[in-house]
Structure 1
Amino acid sequence: MQENATRASASRAIPFDAAKLDRLMDAAGLDVLVATSKHNVQYLLGAERAIFFDYMDALGVSRYLPVLAYPKGAPDKAVYIGHRLETHQRAVAPPWVPQVRTESNGSVDAVMRAARALKDAGVPIKRIGVEMAFLPMDAGKALGDALPDAELKDALLVLERLRAVKSAHELAKLKTASELVIASMLEVIAGQGPGTTKQQLSDALRVAEANRGLTFEYCLLACGSSHNRAPSAQRWEQGDVLSLDSGGNYHGYIGDLARMAVLGEPDTELKDCLAEIEAVQRAAFAAVRPGAMGGDIYVAAERQLAHITQRDCTEFLAHGMGLVSHEAPRLTASGPVPDDTDARLPLEPGMVVSIETTMKHPKRGFIKLEDTVAVTAGGYEIFGEDGRGWNLGGSAR
């Protein structure tokens, strides 16, 4: 098969902080970085994911594996190995990478081509950083066999540290994603009434997000006194609370937020419960500022939690957001991704944190607020602040 090597425009800027990546690679003892996850390849490439493989990886008897090889200090010798089915896409919008070769047929073929390109470039390849969690066994073995004198080291955390501080362009996407998720939730809440099933609510939210240009990722929802958040045949009835927690993807960046609704008017108890959750959220927001330790967010939240009436059934969580849900900054050793590295490090402008307070009330049900908060030079900014109170179901009918 004839090789397809495309030269990117010389004026195309590298979309990430190459000097920072070089420093991170140097500290980790890496000569070359070989990225193979779709999110990190998107980030390093500065281009949209391959259209054909946006939702799937399996193809025939192999899988799609994008490979971006970046030699430390030598971006002019970087190479991107893509699949043949993304040739037209890369021709329309050429990435910055000097060599863009859309010629692979599967995972092993992709890494073998990347290995040959690195050998031809004449760069040091003694220590190669790979994404162990995103490198298939067949590709990993093939890479090791092709470069037998090289040491393969895990570079997943190097890439996460690189992405921890978002650019203005990334922040704009996260803000848009958050605002569109909230708008979609409010539309669904207002348009649905008694008797609507949780599955129908989830389906309606999927459509609402798609109509706003989002890729629907998930909807966790609970109604009535149940704490079960899976879509089901359970119906939302008069007087029931509804918790909507959804992730909507905007060009790779995830808006992850939660809002509350009720069919009818909220009584005093419900108003008090949500007010307590709001107080915890606001206390956590106030701790978000550049230079503050990441763990200060938890200190502030826990201090406020100690004063609420429903403390025994309320929990708090804060985690980074971006191309990946639960990415850096990592703030807790007891969450879904147990790692508190950033609890002891200062927050930086451009970091983005999801802040969520959840009350599992034994009688009134699942009550939650989740917000996306960016660290700014002067403190913080909330992305998607609408709908924080009790939203009334069926109000648009």
Structure 2
Amino acid sequence: MEHLPPNPERLARARQLMAAAAIDLLVIGPSADFRYFTGRPGHLSERLTALVIERDGPPVLVVPKLEAPLYADLESAFQLVVWADGDDPIAHLVTLVQSTGSRAIAVNDQFWSGFLLQLQDRLPERSFRRASPLLRRLRMAKDTGELALLREASRRTDAAWEYFCAHERLTGRTEREVAARLTELLLAQGLHEVAFCIVASGPNGASPHHETGDRVIQPGDPVVIDFGGSYYGYYSDITRTPVAGEPSSDFADAYEAVLEAQQAAFAAMRPGVPCQDVDRAARQILHEHGYGSYFIHRLGHGVGLTVHEDPYLVEGNDEPLEPGMVVSDEPGIYIPGRWGVRIEDLVVVTEDGAERLNSVSRELLRLP
């Protein structure tokens, strides 16, 4: 697995937010949060691995002995506390908390409840809270390095799609065969992992998170293809809906409505605009075309070290967009028993507007 070096500026920013929120200690289990600070994801298992960030002291990595070699190169940035099978790893965390005098402890969402409950039992005088309000503030707006990796992940994903469109066919192949081929092409473009590849043909396309199966693609079938992967931990996410051959006239009309809705959402993205207003911009277009009830999910979500993260473009979220936020723009129409259509790009909010990270065509594509 490819890793990036730790970024000390992130620790400094975390400590500033900890001070403002009166948090003494952060405890972070293997997760995207863990990778944000250490440059690697950590191994989530029954063996405790945790990053401990004190507001006024050195950061500590608590790791099982058999995995300690994976972190040896981080000793200049983190203090390593190594425990062996048969030891009590929770005791190491308790010692850290007691030695620092920390009272207010924030824990990330991916720190297993089994570990947290033990920690709370042994530290009844300490207060515990979720770290997500702090961590989301750190991770939502991407820095220059993160944006470069997200652009590169999308560029490589676009290249795989362009090759697929130029050389592959849909008709007569199973959904699973199409997904396997596209996965090969994504890896050939140098993505380190293919995180997902949904291929939903004909009536299966009416299920936004369809499980790719063995249905054979028929002439005239729209095929919703939603795919993405990671590059140094940062993800791409794109959806296109080509047709196997010639589309029906009603599908072509619906496709144009989705394309118009996607453009309306993109045009609405700029700093200061509430997230829900971007969702409303797309939803209004589909409502005007008579498809409002067939758009059954939020418009989009943040993308970075995970495929779904803050901020979410959804009704009820009045949080304003900020420069550096990267979000998906993915309106869709889903007609039960018939077909679905979704068009998705990743978009970065800039100082004065927005920029698409995907450059491949959004026009209705006919493939053999």
Range of TM-score over shorter length: 0.7 to 0.9
In structure 1, the residue matched to 2:307 is 325
User: TM-score when scaled to structure 1?
Assistant: 0.81
> Matched residue of 2:158: which SS?
helix
Say whether 1:375 aligns with 2:349: yes
Q: How does 1:1-397 map to 2 (within 5 A)?
A: 14-16=8-10, 18-19=12-13, 21-45=14-38, 47-50=39-42, 53=43, 57-58=44-45, 63-72=46-55, 74=56, 76-91=57-72, 93-94=73-74, 97-101=77-81, 103-105=82-84, 109-120=88-99, 123-131=100-108, 133-189=109-165, 190-214=167-191, 215-226=193-204, 227-228=206-207, 229-266=210-247, 268-315=249-296, 317-332=299-314, 340=316, 343-361=317-335, 365-394=339-368
Distance 1:264-1:296 versus aligned 2 partners, 3 A rule: same
- How far apart are the structure 2 equivalents of 1:154 and 1:31? 13
> Matched residue of 1:329: which SS?
strand
- How far apart are the structure 2 equivalents of 1:105 and 1:115? 16
User: TM-score when scaled to structure 2?
Assistant: 0.87
Q: Deviation at 1:82?
A: 2.4
The one-letter code matched in structure 2 to 1:14 is P
Distance 1:223-1:125 versus aligned 2 partners, 3 A rule: same
Task: Report Cα offsets for 1:337-393 as digits up to 9, x if no partner.
Answer: xxx4xx323211111111111111357511111111111112111111203123333
Q: Deviation at 1:183?
A: 2.9
- How far apart are the structure 2 equivalents of 1:12 and 1:180? 24
The one-letter code matched in structure 2 to 1:255 is S
Q: Is the 8 A contact 1:167 1:350 kept in 2?
A: yes
- How far apart are the structure 2 equivalents of 1:81 and 1:381? 40
Q: Deviation at 1:143?
A: 1.9
Q: Is the 8 A contact 2:65 2:85 kept in 1?
A: no
Distance 1:303-1:36 versus aligned 2 partners, 3 A rule: same
- How far apart are the structure 2 equivalents of 1:107 and 1:354? 46
The one-letter code matched in structure 2 to 1:298 is D
**Which 5+ residue runs of structure 1 have no aligned equivalent?**
1-10, 334-339
The one-letter code matched in structure 2 to 1:391 is L
Distance 1:193-1:164 versus aligned 2 partners, 3 A rule: closer
Q: Deviation at 1:242?
A: 0.9
Q: Is the 8 A contact 2:294 2:334 kept in 1?
A: yes
The one-letter code matched in structure 2 to 1:48 is R
> Matched residue of 1:240: which SS?
coil
Distance 1:81-1:284 versus aligned 2 partners, 3 A rule: same
Q: Deviation at 1:148?
A: 3.7
Q: Which moved more, 1:261-270 or 1:225-234?
A: 261-270
Q: What's the % identity of the aligned pairs?
A: 28
Number of residue pairs matched?
358
Task: Report Cα offsets for 1:187-229 as digits up to 9, x if no partner.
Answer: 3454234211111122222222222232112222211233242
> Matched residue of 2:41: which SS?
coil
> Matched residue of 1:149: which SS?
coil
Cα RMSD over matched residues? 2.7
Q: Deviation at 1:39?
A: 1.1
> Matched residue of 1:192: which SS?
coil
Q: Deviation at 1:36?
A: 1.0
